[in-house]
Amino acid sequence: MRKELIALLVIVAVVACSSSRNADNSIPVASFQQDVTSELALLMRTMAAHADSVKAALARDGKLPPKPAIKTLFTATPTQGMHIDPITYPTFGKDYLAKLDALYKAPKAERPQAYNALVQSCANCHGTHCPGPLMRIRKMYVAVEE
């Protein structure tokens, strides 16, 4: 049982953010003693699920899901050891919130572009914080007719 649990924790750690940190397979033992999912990671899952549902809505009828209240982007506790840059993180975070507002204000015909701008704001922050999800984020864009 313990072995399976540790294997699961290793998988979770690798799938989440730490792809670069774990590249040399030297996962610090201490990382097993913390809660697996931080407040910030949980919030990110909500943000990612929301973006996925917007993408699905655009493919369907363009009717957006309810706008999520993202209240704790600047206060949620990150995974232990995760560096949150005091300058770039708030800048990228405000940009995400601005793109979220813009999406809900955009006329229907412009929602695909507004959605792509939202996904770009995810990618921008993940370029400097937590690169693990970047592959997934790059697949979230929608094709836009010029």
- Two structure tokens written together for 88: 């770039």
Contacting positions for ligand HEC (CB under 6 A): 16-17, 38, 40-41, 44-45, 47-48, 51, 78-79, 82, 84, 89, 92-93, 96, 121-122, 125-126, 129-130, 133, 137
Q: How far is the CB of 93 from ligand HEC (least distance, A)?
A: 4
- Our CA angle for 88, 33, 3, nearest 5°, is 125
Closer Cβ to ligand HEC, 19 or 110, answer by number: 19
> How many CB atoms lie under 10 A from the CB of residue 3?
7
Q: How far is the CB of 126 from ligand HEC (least distance, A)?
A: 6
Closer Cβ to ligand HEC, 1 or 57, answer by number: 57
Which DSSP symbol is given to 66? P
Q: How far is the CB of 30 from ligand HEC (least distance, A)?
A: 15
Between the alpha carbon of residue 33 and those of residues 28, 36, 37, 79, 98, the distances in Å are 10, 8, 12, 12, 36
Q: How far is the CB of 131 from ligand HEC (least distance, A)?
A: 10
Closer Cβ to ligand HEC, 58 or 130, answer by number: 130
Write out the H or E segment, with its range, that includes residue 70: none
Amino acid (1-letter code) at residue 96: Y
Closer Cβ to ligand HEC, 1 or 86, answer by number: 86
Closer Cβ to ligand HEC, 53 or 110, answer by number: 53
Which DSSP symbol is given to 85? -
Which DSSP symbol is given to 106? S
